[in-house]
């Protein structure tokens, strides 16, 4: 197990370096535009304007890549991620304020769609014939064909505008103030319904299909026959024999997908005005805010690697065969 | 104890009905080991499935009865069948590796059937049964299936099948996937169990097992019973030509004459030929055989044999 | 508190849209009729030689923290503004505080637009909160632009500030969260009697289509999103309390041609394109409410052209109206072997639609072309390095002071965006004209200069204007507020200078009242 | 049921091959006839610029088919290669490949796409597919590796190994048939994601803007032209959507039939 953790640390380091280089090579030179701005208003030489601009965005792209990289790593060691060029405040504060929102939405949406999806999948596999299976395939195809940005707007239109049931934007009502009071929590949940729905409608379909596929392969096993021969009650067969074995691959893919989700989904968060990691990633890419972008990518890399690690551990712990 | 009356079962395949069992009548007297032998595909497994009510979803029962102490099991409610399974009749399946749930320990899988049948979870019985099949309870109860060898898993299966003291034990190819030493080991165990008066059905194509254990033998061919008799009769004076071929095709340890299998192929079960099912491969076939179906008269279904 | 907001008026993301409600300038400028509505200032006069501007301030004005508003605050704002690099210091020598209510601006360079720059700049830095900054600035009377000052400047401007900005405006910031900013009325506001609203809520807006759905639901009282013609019709039909105002956005959109690359380097080929494009159909697609350009490329926004060039002047220029036959004639034997590429920035819907319509028209004309969407930053870089064929861009822009100098400057000044993009050899004479135009106060001379610049730009055919953009401002009477001025009211001409600032101005003039 | 899947897929392929030849695509905008309802000369009405939607769908089908299949093929190929070799080889090779998969999983695709869009322009759909596949194979590789590893314990592999059949034989005759159902399911998912991802790439300027690309049509309909908000715009929105759904549904049915063909246990009436 230690070897596995060491391996993932190496992966994080490689991914980090790779992202560092990539972000630096991205086209569109922020410094140049800032320098031009200063040039127009201050009437200084281009070189001086560039120096001034450098001070404004608190990192120096002209510095050779290697020293920048070493500089970046040493900062990272102290947990210092630099200042965001657009918001002028330390990246760490932005991440700290954005992470809880993304975690809140992702876990609720992923949890909800996983539970509903897998139960549906197992049930369809268990009831092999009947109308349930084609209905599920149709549902999964329909919901996954619609791109999620379109689904989001449609939900907004139907529930927010036409039926006026759900608020249209933001993470919580402006009139409630954050704290553990009932009003805030109620408005928080009310605001969360639309993003979670936009998130889980296609996810339920995909989990159901995967669960059905995994359950079908388990149904072919002999111990299912033995279980029925033993005269066990149907729900126990479904839970202990079909469920436990079918869930193994699903649990580890859930852990992996959770890691990926923590990167925050840019589309859903920008659409519903949810200040999560995805929202700030979209902003930082738009304005080429390198430090913030770097910090966000770092966070999503860590999330994905921990997700994969968790998947490995979970599948080892749950599946006795691999012990 | 259990008697089957003119049972016929078909499998519904896309566009065709495969008639797997045709007009089968068999009796399984109490306390006796009845063996069912025949080539693979002769309907043996379908029969055991029918007894336990575990037929595949596309199986169709065409007719006949399955009398268990005068109660016809066909058409019973799933709940009744569920209670019947393992409490009154239990099965030892063939595939050793796949028969155990990989995510539960052997001990757990032995107890859950008691719970679902309303029996108290008596660990003592579990230990006693494991010792009976010569397995050390301390090691086996806590371990997972993949941690046991093929032979140990098979023996544990036998222990599992006796958890609820069933009145009938069906053994579906118990020794096929095992080496000879383990096989004989299992035969001793089964013989010991048989001594205690348990009625057993032995489904196999391994004649050595039949010779070793069986009191009565029924020979099946392509879904029909062609001959029934004591083990002695079947081995010494096989009546039905198919039985003769079957017995002869088993290599004699003491170096008998060269082995010859039956010529030709088993018939296509989609269109059953008229007359005797074995007609197309029977060395002593005659005109009558091809037109009329021979009835099972004093344990033989063949026109050649005198009435 | 969302990290995007941190209360420092000088740093981006500091106060956001609320800046126009929390702070005020001395006067508000209405371009149509060139009116100056008094706010913090009461009246102003200029010396005969125009070298000084004296402004008398409104008495009894208080900051939101209760401190009195004096001329020192105006000086502090412009001094700190110097560090932030506001444009006025290009012309301003120094500011003199005569007494608490009078301040005098001394110009080192005269120009017709100086007055506007000084009078409309929002006063954001109260002197009593910036003592130590002012001490530093006064110590160095002429703050030279050296690196040390730059280091201090960065500390000064981007230091953390009080969470809630202190201003003199009609509203005070009460609460901010991730999606809304809530402002409440400032009770001791010196014109409180005219302000009938108790508060303003500003919604953070994401994508256009989300805004359209807010408008459907009637959740917004005033907003100016990009909006196709049909969607606007549907919104107005669906929500009758809404109405639309279409003030000119004071800028035009068109296609800049990279004259470095064959065959675009030949004048006839560029003329063929100018003749071959049906600008009206492009305008209908890309920005329906806009006004189609009249076939001239004057370096000015068409609506301002008459005023600065006079009626009959454009008749003397070659007129590139929609004339496909002429275009096909010019195109004989000039068809490029490869596919022309029209570049558009990915974020701007109207520019993308413009490029797409132009590409399909050119293809039909016989010049195969396709569209390439590009990320904003990369777009600026490719334009600057001339790595494109044709690009959909903003053309003439009149800028905050609505003066042709800024607009012509985009075509003829050393590092002008459109000049470097077009890649034509630098027109030294035109650049001198622009510098002179910036400073000239003599209207006749100014008109002559603008005419020369217009002729140079039109004959070069390096930029083909398609339409002048118009804003679509949706305003809603009832259920919350009412009293929005009619569509033809000159007030709307101030919209391009800052729509939120105009809303605040309407509130302060007492026009907007709570609905019954 | 399965035959419908094959039929629909065949229809799509035919349309993609012969359609563009038969139906001319007139790109010029006719503003007055925008959002026209279904009529004889415009079978599926017209888009926001008055251009015929049916012609766009037909011309777009060639792009979409090529992009979807090439992305799916490349992704499955690379994933199979990496996943299976790392499972079979084990030891250092396995660790290296898993590390490389994780790196590909974690490094965000956006910056590299932005860089590529500055360096060169991709013209034909095949390279476009390869580009999209670059980021969709790691997930599949990971799960393939897990599948193959769990499969190694199955007896029929041990039996095959006992009989000293070549590694190649084991891979091809024993492991691959069992993976096919899994591969086909993932092939569709990747192909479907490719359609929506192609819009993202087009927005980045890596590929010239093709208005008739179904994903782009949907994007233009929902956002730029606001057809989602207009009653008369519904047809322009639904046409590409139904096309994508039909295409995907046929893929799923075809995959299900492949699945059954390879997995006898699932065969039934």
Nearest Cα neighbor of B109 from B79, B84, B141, B135 is B141
pLDDT bin (cut points 50, 70, 90) of residue A116 is very high
| Domain assignment present for B92 | yes
Per the structure, the complete domain to which residue B240 belongs is given by 2-290
Residue of D nearest to C366 (CA): D28
Per-window interface: A 248-287 vs B, CB < 8 A = 248
Residue D79 resides in a domain: yes
Q: Over its length of 307 residues, how does chain B's per-residue pLDDT go in tens digits?
A: 788 888 888 888 777 778 888 888 888 888 888 888 877 767 777 888 888 878 777 788 888 888 888 788 877 888 888 888 888 888 887 755 678 888 888 888 888 888 888 877 778 888 888 888 888 888 888 888 888 887 888 888 888 888 888 888 888 887 776 777 878 878 888 888 888 888 888 888 777 778 878 888 888 887 788 888 888 887 788 777 777 777 776 665 555 555 555 666 666 666 777 777 777 777 777 777 777 777 777 677 777 766 5
Residue C147 has pLDDT above 60, yes or no: no
Q: Which residues of B touch D268 (CB under 8 A)?
A: 57-58
Mean pLDDT is lowest, of A93-97, C507-511, D27-31, for D27-31
Q: Does A146 touch chain D (CB under 8 A)?
A: yes
B83 neighbourhood in chain A, CB within 8 Å: 231
A contacts of B116 (beta carbons < 8 Å):
230-233, 236
| CA geometry: angle C243, C245, C247, nearest 5 deg | 175
Question: Beta strands C369-374 and C340-345: pairing type?
Answer: parallel
User: Chain C: which residues have CB within 8 Å of chain D?
Assistant: 207-209, 212-213, 216, 227-228, 230-231, 234-235, 281, 284-285, 341, 343, 346, 349, 352-353, 355-357, 360-361, 363-364, 370-375, 378
**pLDDT per residue as tens digits for the range A299-311:** 888 888 888 888 8
Name, in order, each residue with C-beta under 8 angstroms of D103's C-beta and a sequence gap of 6 or more. Answer: A11, A14, A15, A18
Residue D91, Cβ density class (10 Å: 0-12 exposed, 13-18 middle, ≥19 buried): exposed
- Are A and B neighbours with ≥3 CB pairs closer than 8 A? yes
Residue B159 counted as domain residue: yes
In angstroms, the CA C323 to CA B236 distance is 110
Task: Count Cβ atoms below 10 Å from residue C335 Cβ, excluding itself.
Answer: 12
Sequential DSSP letters for A163-228:
S--S--SSSS-TTS-SSS-HHHHHHHHHHHHHHHHHHHHHHHHHHHHHHHHHHHHHHTSHHHHHHH
Smallest Cβ distance to D103: which of A11, A210, A300?
A11
Show the tokens assigned to C58: 């409104």
Pairing relationship of beta strands B199-204 and B168-172 according to DSSP bridges? parallel
Reduced to 3 states (helix: H, G, I; strand: E, B; else coil), residue C311 is: coil
Give domain status of residue D38, yes or no. Answer: no
Which range of B18-32, D63-77, D221-235, D248-262 scores highest in mean pLDDT? It is D63-77
Please count the structural domains in chain D.
1
Chain B residues with CB under 8 Å of A320 CB are 102-103, 144, 146
Quick one: closest CA in C to D223, which residue?
C209
- Residues A121-144 have a mean pLDDT of 82
Rounded to 10°, the helix C131-139/C71-84 angle is 70
Q: Do C364 and D27 touch (CB under 8 A)?
A: yes
Q: Answer with the residue of higher pLDDT: A42 or C347.
A: C347
Longest dimension (CA), chain B: 65
In the predicted structure, residue D266 carries a pLDDT above the cut 80: no
pLDDT of res. C158: 60
Kindly write down the DSSP assignment for every residue of D2-25, as one continuous string: HHHHHHHHHHHHHHHHHHHHHS--
Partner B contacted by A127 (CB < 8 A): no
CATH number of the domain where residue D242 is located = 1.10.3720.10
Please report whether residue D107 resides in a domain: yes
- The answer to whether residue D3 neighbours chain B at the CB level (below 8 Å) is no
Average pLDDT over residues D69-85: 87
CB pairs under 8 A between A and D: 117
Helix pair angle (C302-309, C443-460), 10° resolution: 130
**What digits encode the pLDDT tens for the residues C263-288?**
888 888 888 888 888 888 888 888 88
C38: how many CB neighbours lie within 10 A of its CB? Answer: 15
Provide the residue range defining the domain that includes D116: 2-12+45-266
Q: Which residue out of A215, A220, A231 would a mutagenesis test of the B interface target, given it has the greatest number of B Cβ atoms within 10 Å?
A: A231
Instruction: Please give the Cα distance from B151 to B139 (Å, whole number).
Output: 15
Distances (CA, A) of C311 to C215, C301, C302, C451, D144: 41, 15, 12, 12, 75
Secondary structure class of B43 (helix, strand, coil):
coil
Q: Determine contact, residues C175/C182, Cβ cutoff 8 Å.
A: yes
Greatest Cα pair distance, chain C, in angstroms, is: 75
Q: Which residue has the higher pLDDT, C2 or C368?
A: C368
How buried is D125 (Cβ within 10 angstroms: 0-12 exposed, 13-18 middle, 19+ buried)? buried
Token readout for D12 is 């799509």
If you average pLDDT over every residue of chain C, what do you get? Answer: 82
Domain presence at residue B227: yes
Lowest mean pLDDT among A42-46, C487-491, D170-174: A42-46
What pLDDT does C11 receive?
Answer: 62
D255 closest CA partner among A125, A213, A254, A139: A213
Chain D residue at shortest CA distance from C233: D230
C61: left (phi over 0), alpha (psi -120 to 50) or beta: beta
User: Inter-chain contact C377–A38, Cβ cutoff 8 Å?
Assistant: no
Residue C3 pLDDT: 45
ipTM comes to 0.74
Residue D256 has pLDDT above 80, yes or no: no
CA distance C277 to C461: 13
pLDDT in tens, B186-200: 888 888 888 888 888
* Chains in touch with D (≥3 Cβ pairs < 8 A): A, B, C
pLDDT in tens, A277-296: 888 888 787 777 778 888 88
Chains B and C touch (3+ CB pairs under 8 A): no
Closest CB from D153, D155, D268 relative to B58:
D268
Q: Measured between beta carbons, which residues in chain D are less than 8 angstroms from residue C360?
A: 27-29, 49, 51
For residue C263, cis peptide bond before it (omega within 30 degrees of 0): yes
Round to whole Å and give the CA distance between C165 and C24.
Answer: 13
Q: Do chains C and A touch (3 or more CB pairs under 8 A)?
A: yes
CATH classification of the domain holding B229:
3.40.50.300
Which candidate, C226, D38, A267, places its Cα nearest to that of C235?
C226
Query: For all residues of chain D together, what is the average pLDDT?
Result: 79
Residue A261 pLDDT = 75
Residue A322 pLDDT greater than 80, yes or no? no
pLDDT band at A38 (very low <50, low <70, confident <90, very high): low
| Peptide bond preceding C479 in cis form (omega within 30 of 0) | yes
The 10 Å Cβ neighbour count of residue B188 is: 11
In angstroms, rounded to a whole number, what is the distance separating the alpha carbons of residues A65 and A208?
A: 47
- Asked, for residue D233, whether it belongs to a domain, the answer is yes
Number of domains, chain B: 1
Chain B 38-67, CB below 8 Å of chain D: which residues?
57-58
User: Percentage of residues in chain C with pLDDT exceeding 90?
Assistant: 1
And the tokens for C103?
Answer: 């301040």
Q: How far apart are the C-alpha atoms of C297 and C277, rounded to whole Å? A: 14
Would you place residue C442 in the very low, low, confident or very high pLDDT band (cuts 50, 70, 90)?
Answer: confident
pLDDT band at A131 (very low <50, low <70, confident <90, very high): confident
Beta carbons within 8 Å of C459's beta carbon, 6+ residues apart: C317, C318
Distance (Å, rounded) from C-alpha D220 to C-alpha D60? 14
State the Cα–Cα distance between residues C429 and C442, nearest whole angstrom.
Answer: 19
Residues of B in contact with A226 (CB under 8 A): 91, 93, 99-101
- What is the nearest CA distance from B213 to chain A, expressed in angstroms? 24
What does the mean pLDDT of chain A come to? 79
* Rounded-to-integer distance, Cα A319 and Cα D149, Å: 13
Q: What does the pLDDT read at residue D254? A: 82
Shortest CA distance from B97: residue in chain D: D155
| Band of residue D269 on the pLDDT scale cut at 50, 70, 90 | very low
Q: Rg of the Cα trace of chain B? A: 20
Distance from CA of B100 to the nearest CA of A (A): 5
Sign of the CA dihedral C486, C491, C493, C497? negative
DSSP 8-state assignment for residue A83: B
For chain A, report the end-to-end CA distance as a whole number of angstroms.
Answer: 12
Q: Do D218 and A147 touch (CB under 8 A)?
A: yes
Whole-number Å distance between alpha carbons of A187 and A184:
5
> Does any CB of chain B come closer than 8 Å to the CB of residue D155?
yes
Does residue B295 lie within any of the structural domains? no
């Amino acid at each position: 197990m230690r070897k596995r953790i060491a391996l993932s640390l190496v992966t994080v380091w490689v991914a980090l370096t790779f992202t560092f280089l990539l972000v630096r090579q991205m086209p569109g030179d922020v410094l140049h535009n800032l320098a031009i701005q200063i040039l127009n208003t201050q009437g200084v030489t281009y070189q001086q304007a560039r120096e001034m601009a450098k001070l404004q965005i608190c990192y120096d792209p002209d510095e050779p890549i290697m020293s920048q990289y070493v500089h970046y790593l040493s900062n990272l060691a102290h947990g210092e991620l630099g200042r965001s060029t657009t918001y002028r405040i330390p990246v760490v504060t932005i991440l700290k304020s954005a992470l809880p929102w993304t975690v809140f939405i992702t876990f609720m949406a992923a949890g909800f769609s996983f539970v509903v999806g897998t139960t549906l999948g197992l049930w369809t596999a268990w009831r092999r014939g009947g109308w349930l299976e084609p209905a599920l395939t149709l549902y999964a195809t329909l919901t996954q064909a619609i791109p999620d940005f379109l689904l989001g707007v449609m939900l907004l239109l139907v529930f927010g505008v036409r039926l006026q049931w759900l608020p249209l934007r933001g993470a919580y009502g402006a009139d409630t103030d954050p704290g553990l009071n009932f009003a805030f929590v109620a408005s928080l949940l009310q605001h969360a319904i639309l993003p979670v729905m936009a998130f889980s409608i296609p996810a339920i379909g995909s989990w159901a299909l995967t669960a059905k596929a995994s359950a079908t392969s388990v149904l072919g096993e002999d111990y299912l026959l033995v279980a029925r021969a033993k005269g066990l009650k149907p729900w126990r067969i479904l839970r202990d024999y079909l469920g436990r074995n079918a869930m193994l691959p699903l649990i580890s893919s859930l852990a992996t997908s959770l890691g990926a989700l923590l990167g925050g989904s840019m589309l859903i968060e920008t659409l519903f005005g949810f200040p999560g990691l995805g929202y700030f990633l979209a902003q930082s890419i738009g304005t080429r805010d390198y430090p913030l972008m770097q910090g966000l990518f770092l966070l999503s890399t860590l999330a994905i690697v921990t997700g994969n690690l968790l998947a490995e551990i979970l599948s080892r712990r749950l599946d006795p065969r691999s012990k | 104890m259990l008697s089957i009356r003119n049972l016929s079962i078909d499998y519904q395949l896309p566009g065709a009905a495969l008639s797997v069992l045709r007009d089968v009548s068999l009796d399984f007297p109490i306390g006796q080991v009845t063996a069912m032998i025949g080539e693979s595909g002769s309907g043996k497994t379908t029969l055991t499935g029918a007894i336990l009510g575990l037929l595949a979803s596309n199986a169709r029962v065409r007719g006949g009865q399955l009398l268990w102490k005068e109660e016809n099991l066909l058409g019973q409610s799933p709940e009744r069948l569920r209670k019947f399974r393992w409490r009154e009749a239990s099965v030892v399946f063939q595939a050793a590796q796949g028969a155990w749930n990989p995510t539960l320990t052997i001990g757990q899988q032995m107890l859950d059937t008691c719970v679902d049948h309303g029996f108290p979870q008596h660990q003592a019985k579990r230990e006693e049964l494991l010792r009976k099949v010569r397995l050390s309870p301390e090691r086996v109860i806590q371990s997972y299936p993949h941690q046991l060898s093929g032979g140990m898993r098979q023996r544990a299966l036998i222990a599992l099948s006796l958890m609820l003291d069933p009145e009938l034990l069906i053994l579906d190819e118990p020794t096929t996937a095992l080496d000879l030493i383990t096989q004989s080991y299992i035969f001793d165990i089964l013989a010991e169990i048989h001594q205690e008066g348990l009625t057993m059905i032995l489904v196999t194509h391994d004649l050595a097992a039949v010779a070793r254990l069986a009191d009565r033998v029924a020979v099946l061919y392509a879904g029909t019973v062609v001959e029934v008799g004591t083990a002695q009769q079947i081995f010494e004076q096989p009546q039905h030509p198919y039985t003769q071929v079957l017995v002869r095709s088993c290599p004699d340890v003491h170096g008998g004459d060269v082995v010859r299998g039956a010529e030709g192929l088993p018939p296509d079960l989609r269109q059953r030929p008229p007359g005797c099912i074995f007609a197309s491969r029977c060395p002593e076939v005659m005109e009558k055989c091809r037109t009329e179906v021979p009835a099972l008269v004093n344990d033989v279904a063949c026109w050649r044999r005198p009435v | 508190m969302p990290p995007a907001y941190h209360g420092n008026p000088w740093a981006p993301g500091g106060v956001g849209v609320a800046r126009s409600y929390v702070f005020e300038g001395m006067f508000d400028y209405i371009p149509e009729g060139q009116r100056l509505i008094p706010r913090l200032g009461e009246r102003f006069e200029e010396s005969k030689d125009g070298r000084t501007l004296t402004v008398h301030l409104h008495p009894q004005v208080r900051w939101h923290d209760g401190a009195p508003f004096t001329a020192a605050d105006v000086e502090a704002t412009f001094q700190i503004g110097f560090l932030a690099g506001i444009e006025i210091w290009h012309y301003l020598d120094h500011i003199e505080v005569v007494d608490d209510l009078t301040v005098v601006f001394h110009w080192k360079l005269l120009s017709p637009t100086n007055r506007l720059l000084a009078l409309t700049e929002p006063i954001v830095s109260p002197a009593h909160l910036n003592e130590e900054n002012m001490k530093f600035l006064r110590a160095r009377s002429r703050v030279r632009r050296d690196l040390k000052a730059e280091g201090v400047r960065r500390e000064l401007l981007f230091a953390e500030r009080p969470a809630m900005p202190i201003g003199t405006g009609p509203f005070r910031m009460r609460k901010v969260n991730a999606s809304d900013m809530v402002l409440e009325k400032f009770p001791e506001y010196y014109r409180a009697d005219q302000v009938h609203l108790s508060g303003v809520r500003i919604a953070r807006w994401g994508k256009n289509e989300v805004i359209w759905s807010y408008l459907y639901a009637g959740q917004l009282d005033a907003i100016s999103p990009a909006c196709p013609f049909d969607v606007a019709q549907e919104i107005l039909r669906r929500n009758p309390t809404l109405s639309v105002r279409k003030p000119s956005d004071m800028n035009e959109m068109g296609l800049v041609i990279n004259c470095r690359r064959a065959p675009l380097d030949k004048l006839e080929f560029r003329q063929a394109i100018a003749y071959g494009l049906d600008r009206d159909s492009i305008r209908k697609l890309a920005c329906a409410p806009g006004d189609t350009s009249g076939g001239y490329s004057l370096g000015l926004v068409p609506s301002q052209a008459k005023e600065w060039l006079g009626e009959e002047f454009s008749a003397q220029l070659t007129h590139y109206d929609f004339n496909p036959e002429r275009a096909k004639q010019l195109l004989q034997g000039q068809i490029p072997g490869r596919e022309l590429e029209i570049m558009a920035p990915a974020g701007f819907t109207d520019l993308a639609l413009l490029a797409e319509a132009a590409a399909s028209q050119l293809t039909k004309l016989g010049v195969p072309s396709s569209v390439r969407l590009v990320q904003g930053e990369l777009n600026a870089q490719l334009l600057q390095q001339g790595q494109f064929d044709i690009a959909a861009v903003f053309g003439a822009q009149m800028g905050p002071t609505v003066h042709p100098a800024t607009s012509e400057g985009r075509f003829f000044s050393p590092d002008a965006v459109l000049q470097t993009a077009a890649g034509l050899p630098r027109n030294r004479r035109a650049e001198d004209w622009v510098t002179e135009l910036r400073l000239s106060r003599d209207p006749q001379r100014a008109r002559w200069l603008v005419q020369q610049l217009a002729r140079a730009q039109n004959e070069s055919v390096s930029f083909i204007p398609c339409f002048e953009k118009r804003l679509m401002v949706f305003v809603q009477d009832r259920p919350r507020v009412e009293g929005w001025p009619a569509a033809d009211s000159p007030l709307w001409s101030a919209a391009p200078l800052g729509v939120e600032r105009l809303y605040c101005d309407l509130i302060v003039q007492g026009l907007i009242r709570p609905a019954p | 049921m399965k035959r419908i899947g094959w039929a629909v897929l065949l229809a799509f392929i035919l349309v993609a091959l012969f359609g563009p030849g038969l139906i001319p695509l007139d790109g010029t905008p006719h503003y007055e006839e925008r959002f026209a309802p279904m009529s004889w000369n415009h079978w599926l009405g017209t888009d926001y610029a008055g251009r015929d939607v049916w012609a766009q769908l037909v011309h777009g089908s060639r792009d979409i088919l090529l992009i979807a299949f090439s992305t799916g093929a490349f992704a499955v190929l690379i994933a199979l290669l990496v996943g299976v070799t790392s499972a079979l080889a084990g030891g250092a090779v396995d660790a290296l490949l898993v590390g490389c998969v994780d790196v590909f999983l974690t490094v965000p695709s956006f910056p590299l796409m932005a860089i590529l869009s500055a360096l060169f322009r991709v013209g034909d759909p095949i390279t476009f597919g390869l580009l999209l596949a670059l980021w969709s194979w790691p997930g599949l590789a990971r799960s393939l590796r897990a599948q193959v590893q769990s499969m190694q314990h199955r007896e029929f592999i041990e039996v095959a190994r006992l009989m000293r059949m070549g590694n190649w034989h084991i891979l091809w005759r024993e492991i691959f048939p069992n993976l096919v159902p899994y591969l086909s399911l993932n092939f569709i998912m990747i192909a479907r994601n490719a359609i929506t991802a192609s819009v993202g790439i087009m927005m980045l300027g890596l590929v010239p803007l093709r208005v008739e690309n179904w994903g782009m049509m949907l994007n233009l309909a929902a956002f730029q032209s606001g057809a989602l908000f207009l009653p008369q715009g519904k047809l322009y929105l639904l046409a590409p959507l139904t096309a994508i759904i039909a295409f995907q549904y046929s893929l799923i049915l075809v995959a299900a039939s492949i699945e059954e063909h390879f997995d006898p246990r699932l065969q039934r009436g």
